[in-house]
């Protein structure tokens, strides 16, 4: 692996572990605007941090044209706003809004508490995941034994109000305040983070609608959980292998290889990345290496100072190779490393992809810039693309077969995406057997 790929170890998954509701607790994971604050920076400190952040972005952002934004004009527009800042919460919000002018999900400014969560891979959790389905905020999953589960919240319920305000109104207000991100899907994540996020220990009152139309209220306390890769591996009734993991963080590659070693005789494999927002590129390439018998160029990496160069997967040193048909499941919560992994394998013809279009949040962040008082400036320094040069940032991965879950699917606990993945594998397996027979 070249030096660029090793350096680009912080991708989207790290950012979502930094603050607001995350993929480990909720579907939408960008820190909310009022998540954390401390009041210990002087006016001089704030000015110094402002200049440090602005210059760091100017000098290190992967695109010297700054995504077409006049960065000097941004300085002139935001500097006077410092005078109106009354506490550190407002200050870090201001810096983050300035970084948000680049419309990039990875480039952020984190407050000291968010920065600490980032370093510890922690996230704020309400105990359930939610996403927009058929125009409503719908609970898709509830973490067992969580406060949400104990409050009676279940998959398929619709969140009708938040702290007494209709959810639609809260989202409309968030839309006015939320700058556009890498894609519409990433912007939606930020909006959900804005209306559901908050300080650890604070409460939120939700009004939910059950499947029978009745409503009830639940008051939840925002907690903090570790954001660790959780891998699930099993044989499906069809005999195909299934592996799901929700982050490209160590020991994801080790656990994936251990699981895969038990399924080498399975006729086909499904890799589920629908809840995987990214992580470390080293883990990505180590996992990809188990699907090839020889070294294979997979994607391209480009920095501000270096042209795009191919990055080669690392073949497993123990010779672990799965050579049979593979389908990857993705959705809008699949981000960064999950998108890069999927797009690379899809383009070289190693896998078929089923599900929804991914986030479109595919930039690499490394070596965050520290601010006085403990804040961090996260800067996208690496542009990832496919071998053919297709930029994934803003676009995402388009599946070979697009399948989305309906509200009824969730309420009936039917996984139509997995079902279609199985059908796709059946076709791939039949084609593979037919090809083998013709060769003989």
pLDDT of residue 3: 39
Overall number of domains in the chain: 3
Q: Do 265 and 345 sit in the same domain of this protein?
A: yes
440 vs 236, higher pLDDT: 236
Q: Do 324 and 202 sit in the same domain of this protein?
A: no
Average pLDDT over residues 148-167: 97
Task: Collect all residues with Cβ–Cβ distance below 8 Å to 175 and sequence separation of at least 6.
Answer: 191
| Residue 155, domain CATH | 2.30.42.10
pTM attached to this predicted model: 0.89
Name the residue among 105, 123, 98, 128 with its Cα closest to residue 113.
123
pLDDT exceeds 60 at position 313? yes
Q: Do 434 and 324 sit in the same domain of this protein?
A: yes
Task: Collect all residues with Cβ–Cβ distance below 8 Å to 215 and sequence separation of at least 6.
Answer: 160, 207, 208, 209
Q: What are the tens digits of pLDDT across the range 399-435?
A: 999 999 999 999 999 999 999 999 999 999 876 654 4
* Residue spans of alpha helices (H) in 19-63: 43-60
Average pLDDT over residues 320-331: 97
Given 226, 258, 289, the domain boundary residue is 226
Average pLDDT over residues 159-188: 93
Q: Do 313 and 424 sit in the same domain of this protein?
A: yes
Q: Is 323 exposed, middle or buried (0-12, 13-18, 19+ CB in 10 A)?
A: exposed
355 vs 114, higher pLDDT: 355
Q: Do 343 and 433 sit in the same domain of this protein?
A: yes
Q: Point out the least confidently predicted range of 167-171, 313-317, 380-384.
A: 313-317
Q: Rg for the chain (alpha carbons), in Å?
A: 22
pLDDT of residue 316: 83
Query: Which pLDDT band, with edges at 50, 70 and 90, does 119 fall under?
Result: confident
pLDDT of residue 21: 29
The parent domain of residue 238 ranges over 231-363+382-439
pLDDT of residue 39: 55
Q: Do 409 and 352 sit in the same domain of this protein?
A: yes
pLDDT of residue 431: 66
Q: Is 80 exposed, middle or buried (0-12, 13-18, 19+ CB in 10 A)?
A: exposed
Q: Do 338 and 206 sit in the same domain of this protein?
A: no
Q: Do 386 and 338 sit in the same domain of this protein?
A: yes
pLDDT of residue 24: 26
Query: Which pLDDT band, with edges at 50, 70 and 90, does 194 fall under?
Result: confident
Q: Do 247 and 309 sit in the same domain of this protein?
A: yes
Q: What's the CA gap between 234 and 240, in Å, rounded?
A: 9
- DSSP code, position 237: T
Query: Which pLDDT band, with edges at 50, 70 and 90, does 6 fall under?
Result: very low
Q: Do 213 and 359 sit in the same domain of this protein?
A: no
178 vs 52, higher pLDDT: 52
291 vs 228, higher pLDDT: 291
Q: What's the CA gap between 21 and 125, in Å, rounded?
A: 5
Q: Do 118 and 132 sit in the same domain of this protein?
A: no
Q: What's the CA gap between 352 and 400, in Å, rounded?
A: 6
Q: Do 277 and 304 sit in the same domain of this protein?
A: yes
Residue located via tokens 């990875």: 106
Residues 346 and 400: beta-carbon distance below 8 Å: yes
Task: Collect all residues with Cβ–Cβ distance below 8 Å to 103 and sequence separation of at least 6.
Answer: 67, 179, 180, 181, 182
């Amino acid at each position: 692996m070249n030096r660029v790929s090793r350096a680009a170890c912080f991708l989207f998954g790290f950012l979502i572990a930094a603050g607001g509701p995350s993929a480990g607790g909720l579907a939408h994971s960008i820190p909310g605007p009022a998540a954390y604050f401390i009041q210990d920076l002087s006016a001089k400190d704030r000015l110094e941090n402002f200049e440090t952040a602005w210059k760091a972005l100017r000098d290190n952002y992967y695109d010297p044209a700054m995504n077409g934004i006049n960065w000097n004009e941004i300085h002139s527009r935001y500097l006077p706003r410092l005078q109106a800042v009354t506490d550190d919460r407002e200050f870090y919000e201001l810096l983050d809004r300035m970084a948000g002018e680049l419309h990039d999900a990875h480039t952020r400014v984190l407050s000291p508490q968010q920065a600490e969560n980032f370093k510890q891979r922690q996230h704020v959790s309400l105990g359930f995941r939610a996403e927009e389905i058929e125009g409503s905020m719908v609970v898709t999953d509830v973490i067992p034994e969580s406060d949400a589960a104990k409050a009676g919240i279940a998959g398929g319920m619709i969140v009708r109000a938040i702290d007494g305000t209709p959810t639609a109104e809260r989202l409309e207000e968030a839309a006015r305040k939320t700058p556009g991100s890498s894609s519409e899907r990433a912007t939606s994540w930020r909006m959900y983070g804005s209306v559901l996020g908050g300080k650890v220990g604070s409460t939120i009152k939700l009004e939910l609608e059950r499947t029978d139309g009745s409503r009830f209220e639940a008051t939840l306390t925002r907690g903090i959980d570790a954001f660790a890769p959780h891998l699930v591996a099993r044989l499906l009734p069809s005999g195909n292998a299934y592996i799901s993991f929700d982050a490209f963080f160590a020991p994801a590659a080790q656990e994936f290889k251990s699981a895969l070693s038990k399924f080498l005789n399975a006729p086909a494999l499904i890799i589920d990345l629908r809840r995987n927002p990214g992580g470390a590129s080293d883990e990505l390439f180590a996992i990809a290496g188990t699907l090839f018998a020889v070294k294979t160029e997979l994607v391209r990496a480009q920095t501000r100072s270096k042209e795009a160069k191919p990055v080669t997967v690392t073949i497993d040193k123990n010779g672990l190779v799965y050579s049979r048909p593979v389908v990857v499941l993705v959705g809008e919560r699949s981000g960064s490393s999950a998108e890069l992994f999927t797009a690379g394998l899809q383009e070289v013809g190693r896998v078929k992809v089923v599900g929804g279009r991914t986030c479109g949040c595919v930039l690499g962040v490394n070596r965050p810039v520290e601010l006085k008082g403990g804040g961090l400036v996260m800067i996208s320094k690496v542009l990832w693309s496919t071998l053919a040069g297709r930029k994934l940032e803003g676009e995402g991965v388009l599946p070979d077969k697009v399948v989305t879950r309906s509200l009824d699917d969730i309420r009936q606990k039917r996984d139509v995406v997995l079902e279609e993945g199985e059908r796709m594998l059946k076709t791939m397996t039949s084609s593979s057997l037919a090809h083998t027979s013709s060769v003989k």
